[in-house]
Amino acid sequence: MPTIATNLAVTTKVYTSPAKATLDAVHLYRRFLRAVPTIVRLYQIDFPLPTVRSKIRQEFERQRFVTSLPVINILIAKGHMEYQETINFWKQKPQVFKYFVQEEYPERYVRKSFVDKFLEGSA
């Protein structure tokens, strides 16, 4: 089922107040959350839906404390582009799975103490 790319296109806006930018960021976040079942089906993601939703939440939370309005404008524009590329299946699977490296290989992300690193010879 082909999608019409212009249906998902959003014109770039320049926000003059943080409140309007926050409102649009929340709307974008909700669009992503509603699209999770479609994303999982399109890219054949083996993780459960709550895990994918959690990853989306983490990506939004990473930018939560950005206060510069020009930076917020760019982040929201990039978010809309990311949404459009993902839903239209313009991305390749590795571009989507890069967000799930930590879930797929948890042993790489285990925090080690100084003594563990020292004994391994990497301290």
112 occurs within a structural domain: no
> Taking the alpha carbons of 104, 66, 49, 40 in that order, is the dihedral positive or negative?
negative
Residue 109 lies inside a defined structural domain of this protein: no
Tally of domains in the chain? 1
Instruction: Quick: pLDDT tens for 99-111.
Output: 888 777 766 767 7
Record the pTM.
Answer: 0.80
Percent of the chain residues past pLDDT 70, beyond the cut:
91
21 close to 73: Cβ distance less than 8 angstroms: yes
State how far the Cα of 16 lies from the Cα of 5, in Å rounded to an integer: 28
Asked if residue 111 belongs to a domain, the reply is: no
Per-residue pLDDT of the chain (123 residues), as tens digits, is 556 777 778 888 899 999 999 999 999 999 999 999 999 999 999 999 999 999 999 999 999 999 999 999 999 999 999 999 999 999 999 999 988 887 777 667 677 788 877 888 765
Instruction: State the residue range of the domain holding 87.
Output: 14-91
Q: Dihedral sign, CA of 30, 103, 64, 21?
A: negative
